[in-house]
Amino acid sequence: MEQDIACRLREIRSEAKLTQLQFGQVLGVSQDTVSLWEKGKSLPATEYVVRICRQFGVSADFLLGLKDF
């Protein structure tokens, strides 16, 4: 599951044409945190899942790898 989320985060960030630093700034986290998420070494807390979904117009089901849309 961590890898699903990591891949989806990378995809969302890439589609938004943001660097890890810029993505982190939008969410209020560091570039290092974004890097750890994208490597699957840590998971975003619930509050960040909500922020990502709202900010980038994706569903939590998509982000968590439960659905492909």
Domains of the chain: total? 1
Domain presence at residue 34: yes
The b/e string for 25-49 (b: 16+ C-beta within 10 A; e otherwise) is ebbebeeebbebbbeeeebbeeebb
34-46 pLDDT per residue, tens: 999 999 999 999 9
Q: Is residue 25 part of a domain?
A: yes
Report the pLDDT value the prediction gives residue 69, as an integer from 0 to 100.
64
**CATH code for the domain in which residue 35 is found:** 1.10.260.40
For the question of whether the overall pTM of this predicted structure is more than 0.85, the answer is yes
